[in-house]
Amino acid sequence: MTPDPLSIVDAYLAAQLARDFDAMRGLLADQGFCYRSPIAAFDRADEFVQYAAVSSGIMLDREIRKVFVDGEDICHFLTYRIQISEKLSVEAAQWSRVHEGRIQRIEAVFDASAYRELFPNDEASP
């Protein structure tokens, strides 16, 4: 029996916080995966997980503030506590779509100004 979409996305978020990149990858679709945010865009899960591994060092903690579920669509409102040059809190919304037991799409929306200062020439930027 396939877990429900919320359980899958919650497992992904737990793996992200634990920096368990193998577990993260196992929850992402092998074909047709898509990630979009103000600072990065990926159409392959393996490349996205490699990027997450490199950029995860700035994440100190995360709070899930609210969750909405609509079938295969899951929306989390989150607060990330990060450290770039100083500690910051970043409010974010993440919309995930689960299809056939794997995360097919993740779209994250947040104020990316602090990241753009840190990674001004990021090749993955949309």
pLDDT at 10: 97
pLDDT at 57: 84
Q: Determine the Cα–Cα distance for residues 103 and 114; give it in Å rounded to an integer.
A: 27
Decide if 76 contacts 66 (C-beta within 8 A). Answer: yes
- pLDDT (mean) for 113-125: 61
The band of 36, judged by pLDDT with boundaries at 50, 70 and 90, is very high
Average pLDDT along the chain: 90
* For the chain, domain boundaries: 5-118
Class of domain 5-118 as given by CATH: alpha beta
Asked if pLDDT for residue 42 goes beyond 70, the answer is yes
Helices (H) and strands (E) in the chain, counts: 4, 6
Q: What percent of the chain has pLDDT over 90?
A: 71
Q: Determine the Cα–Cα distance for residues 15 and 20; give it in Å rounded to an integer.
A: 5
Asked if pLDDT for residue 116 goes beyond 80, the answer is no
**Count of residues in the chain:** 126
